Amino acid sequence: MTLKLRTSAGSTGNINFASSQAITKYIYSPDNVYMDDWGASLTGYGNENLKWQTTLAYNAGFDLGFFKDRISLFADAYIKRTNNLLLPVNVAPSTGFISYTENVGEVENKGLEGRLQMNIIQQKDWKWMITLSAFHNTNKIRKISNELEEMNARLNNSEDSNIGGNVVYQYDKGNSVTALYLVRSAGIDPATGNEIYIKRDGSYSFYYDYRDKTVVGDAEPFLNGNIINSLSWKNLNIYAVLSYRTGGMAYNSTLATKVDNANPRYNADKRVLYDRWQNPGDVAMFRRIDDLSTVYQTDRLLQKNDYMTMSNLSVTYLFPSKTSKKFGCEYLKLIAATTDLFRIASIKQERGLDYPYAKTFTFSINASF
Amino acid sequence: MKKLKYNIIALLFVAFTSCNDWLAVEPETSVDESKLFATEQGFKDAIAGVYVHMASESLYGEEMTFGFLDVLAQQYDYETMGTPFHKYYKDRDYDYADASVKKRIATIWNEMYSAISEINNILKWLDVNGNVLPEASYHRIKGECLLTRAYLHYDLLRLFAPNVKVSPDAKGIPYVTIFGVEPTEPLSVSQTIQLALEDIAEAKVELANDPILSTAPYQFTNKIESDRYVARANYYAADALSARIYLDMGDYPHAVSAAESVIHSGKFNLLNVGKSINVNPDSLDILFSDEHIFSLRNTRIRTYSEELHLAKRTETSSSGASLPLPSNISEIYAGNNDDIRFSTWVEVGTNYLLKYNREIKRFYPKQTLIRLSEMYLILAEAQLKTNNNKALETLNILRRTRITNPATQDIPVLSENEIVNEMRREFIGEGQLFFLFKRLNRAIPNILQDVAPGNVVFVFPIPDSEKEYGL
């Protein structure tokens, strides 16, 4: 058995600070020739008052090896404090910009990381290795700037930020940056088909009031990580990555926009007809079918966002050097790979309607001469 | 010797592996504003960037002209758009609350204001560093900026605020004159118009030595040469825009004088059928170039039109079906086959709009913002409203350049209806008709059922992302 202990503390500037966040820039694109000139387009608003984001990080961990390092465990715990946190702050689009970068406050991240690596089979022809990893992170806002406070107030006031499929993030001191703020719901009233809102004091109401919004969950998972299997026989290798996350929440935008807020007169999801409230006494998940008013976001459609996905599966064959020399190569490798082969998720949501996600199958040949 | 060889191999290796770093380097095409506005060419490139922006697909290259706005003016076959797969499925019914329509409207708002911010930054730098420019360039660029700023704000106002004659005191839109992230408070509709008129007046002063004043763009045989004067904001575009604004306000005397100033300038010429239309097909002047007062160039306009009108598929095409003009298009042209506009713009049998998708080498793909014919139509309408007996002749002058058969050229009696009908023949594919119905508060003709006039149709809702800021 071997044991190593590690600890570190340090301060870093942020490497992601792009100069365009602090300087207004223009870009020339080959398509933009206009008469004798070459049109230059504005790329965004550069905030001249931007300060460097600094991170103070403390880290402690250990590496543990068993059976001549056939099994290794790596574990770390960290605390990171980020000052002058850089975040895009939304602005009125009539300024010509959607957002710009501002120093908005101080955030603390605390987390644990663990990795268990097991060489289960280690023979001449056969090799099998499993790696399990898990990450846990929580964050807390320690300080927020005036700009961010104004943005919060605006978002809170605006009726429009309480409808639709996306929950707008709010930043409050002491809470997480990914906290979900929603009005709590007691479900659909079987007598009327209207939603019953729970007010801050716990009483019930049919009237939505954004001031009843409270933290009902966090989008950040409690735990996420990968399970990696690597199995080799001679020159043939199978490599599979399963990714998982658990303990986070998400607002089901599909149910909100396509079922609860859909107009049954148009082409709609069949749940609009079957699962929405129709007659007194119906115990329904979705509100009255003839109600065409806008749906306010509540925790009724907040769901656990756990999933496991086969994010990568590949089969590789490396030709022995004798064979590859026959083809005139130093090195020759065949790879068949796929991404996102399957996905098991607790939340049933449409994916890839606005932005396509890719399930890809690729076959490639690597050769060097 | 052997060692040298290995060194070379090692060097090559380093050279190849550092590829990734090359990609991480910021492209040389990106430039700091202080560097851009350090030279005259930089200022010229910046204003060119504004025109490129305006000519893009989401603004005047498509949506603000033959795309979205012409759909709203019922300029296309209503039934063809009646499938959920058509990109204008909800737009054709003015469903401004629908997510896809909302997005289209928000994009117009955002992109128009983005172009305005580009203008405001040029104006800011003209103050900071204008001395790098020769006197003439300085004034011309400043004039172009002010005028274009007025043009963009006025179109935003026409889209997002009620008709000025109906509700002058209603809330207008932010008239943004500063570059930055601080929001500008919106003023009333009539106050917003005043700001636009002030910008136009100042632009005219700056453009007092505009090169267009010492030439006549229509006289060039090579239309690329004409574009140096008319494919950008210019002295007469200022008068033309004020004519348009005064007519909307119901200020007819001012509308008349502004329109006449352009008509009598001698810089533009109504269509000459012999020279422009009865020619070899590869030099057909389908956009009536001699009439352009302010136009935008964009080589991709042809592609946008092919995708929308002819359904030529490309990677980004989402329309999927060809989109013809309404089936009664022949009636709109009073069944007159001698009307040049009908015979050159509309394909026989299919009713496809040909204005923007024909490949004609002699002319660069363009979209017109203001044409001379609009000045005649503004003049005729203003004269009609003030009981000036010249109104009929004004309209007939225009018609004689459009209709080849003398027997059907002149109309005997002028009425608002006649002017509306003429505009419907004249402005197909230019986005002007939506504003016409709004100005006159008239029903929008549709074969199935006319669309009743009203703010639910004529006024776009302010995008949600703007409303958060209290607009």
**pLDDT band per the 50, 70, 90 thresholds, residue B23:** very low
**pLDDT band per the 50, 70, 90 thresholds, residue B420:** very high
Q: What is the ipTM of this complex?
A: 0.87
pLDDT of amino acid A17? 60
pLDDT of amino acid B264? 97
For residue A40, pLDDT over 70 is answered with yes
Average pLDDT over residues B224-247: 97
Residues A9, A254: Cα–Cα separation, whole Å: 44
Q: How far are the Cα atoms of A19, A24, A131, B48, B126 from residue B37, in angstroms, in the given order?
A: 18, 12, 55, 13, 8
Q: Is A96 on the interface with B (CB under 8 A)?
A: yes
For residue B471, pLDDT over 70 is answered with no
User: Which residue would you say has higher pLDDT here, A322 or B404?
Assistant: B404
For residue B208, pLDDT over 90 is answered with yes
pLDDT of amino acid B57? 96
CA distance B265 to chain A (A): 25
pLDDT digits 0-9 by tens, A52-106? 888 889 999 999 999 888 999 999 999 999 888 888 888 999 999 998 988 888 9
pLDDT of amino acid A326? 84
Q: Which of A24, A29, A94 sits opposite B184 (nearest CB)?
A: A94
Residues shown for chain B: 471
Q: What is the CB neighbour count within 10 angstroms for residue B255?
A: 26
Q: In chain B, what residues touch A98 (CB-CB under 8 Å)?
A: 110, 465
Q: How far are the Cα atoms of B189, B227, B278, B354, B430 from residue B343, in angstroms, in the given order?
A: 40, 26, 11, 10, 18
**Measured distance between the N- and C-terminal CA atoms of chain A, rounded to whole angstroms:** 44
Q: In chain B, what residues touch A158 (CB-CB under 8 Å)?
A: 464, 467-468
pLDDT of amino acid B196? 98
Average pLDDT over residues B140-151: 98
Q: Is B297 on the interface with A (CB under 8 A)?
A: yes
Query: What is the amino acid identity at position A3?
Result: L
pLDDT of amino acid A355? 54
Average pLDDT over residues B101-126: 97
Nearest to A261 by CA among B97, B87, B467: B97
Residues A144, A173: Cα–Cα separation, whole Å: 7
pLDDT of amino acid B111? 98
Q: Are A29 and A46 in contact (CB under 8 A)?
A: no
Q: What is the mean pLDDT of chain B?
A: 91
Contact B468 A267 (CB under 8 A): no
User: Which residue would you say has higher pLDDT here, A352 or A95?
Assistant: A95
Q: Is A94 on the interface with B (CB under 8 A)?
A: yes
Contact A40 B32 (CB under 8 A): no
Q: Which of A37, A42, A45 sits opposite B48 (nearest CB)?
A: A37
Q: In chain A, what residues touch B26 (CB-CB under 8 Å)?
A: 19
Average pLDDT over residues A347-361: 70
Contact A20 B30 (CB under 8 A): yes
The single residue listed with the structure tokens 């479900």 is A187
pLDDT digits 0-9 by tens, B264-286? 999 999 999 988 888 888 889 99
pLDDT digits 0-9 by tens, B304-363? 999 899 877 555 555 457 899 999 999 999 999 999 999 999 999 899 999 999 888 889
- Burial class of B449 by CB neighbour count within 10 A (0 to 12, 13 to 18, 19+): exposed
**pLDDT band per the 50, 70, 90 thresholds, residue B11:** very low
Angle at A26 between CA A22 and CA A31, to 5 degrees: 150
Residues B239, B262: Cα–Cα separation, whole Å: 7
Nearest to B298 by CA among A35, A295, A18, A302: A35
Return the structure tokens found at B163. 């008709």
pLDDT of amino acid A356? 57
- B residues 175-214 closer than 8 Å to A (CB): 176, 179-184
pLDDT digits 0-9 by tens, B56-109? 999 999 999 999 999 999 999 999 999 888 899 999 999 999 989 999 999 999
A131-145, B189-203, B242-256, B424-438: which has the minimum mean pLDDT? A131-145
Q: What is the CB neighbour count within 10 angstroms for residue B80?
A: 17
Residues B396, A216: Cα–Cα separation, whole Å: 70
pLDDT of amino acid B320? 58
Q: In chain B, what residues touch A330 (CB-CB under 8 Å)?
A: none
pLDDT of amino acid A290? 84
Average pLDDT over residues A334-344: 90
Q: In chain B, what residues touch A22 (CB-CB under 8 Å)?
A: none
Contact B41 A24 (CB under 8 A): no
pLDDT of amino acid A330? 84
pLDDT digits 0-9 by tens, A254-266? 888 888 888 777 7
Q: Is B82 on the interface with A (CB under 8 A)?
A: no
Q: Is A19 on the interface with B (CB under 8 A)?
A: yes
pLDDT of amino acid B152? 98
Three-class SS of chain A: CEEEEEEEEEEEECCCCCHHHCCCEEEEEEEEEECCEEEEEECCCCCCCCCCCEEEEEEEEEEEEECCCCEEEEEEEEEEEEECCEEEEECCHHHCCCEEEEECEEEEEEEEEEEEEEEEEECCCEEEEEEEEEEEEEEEEEEECHHHHHHHHHHHHCHHHHECCCCCCCCCCCCCCCEEEEEEEEEECCCCCCEEEECCCCCEECCCCHHHCEEEEECCCCEEEEEEEEEEECCEEEEEEEEEEECCEEECHHHHHHHHCCCCCCCCCCHHHHCECCCCCCCCCECCCCCCCCCECEHHHEEECCEEEEEEEEEEEECCHHHHHHCCCCEEEEEEEEECCCEEECCCCCCCCCCCCCCCEEEEEEEEC
Residues B101, A282: Cα–Cα separation, whole Å: 34
Q: Is A156 on the interface with B (CB under 8 A)?
A: no
Q: Is B228 on the interface with A (CB under 8 A)?
A: yes
Q: In chain B, what residues touch A257 (CB-CB under 8 Å)?
A: 99
Q: In chain A, what residues touch B29 (CB-CB under 8 Å)?
A: 27-29
Q: Are A342 and A307 in contact (CB under 8 A)?
A: no
pTM attached to this predicted model:
0.77
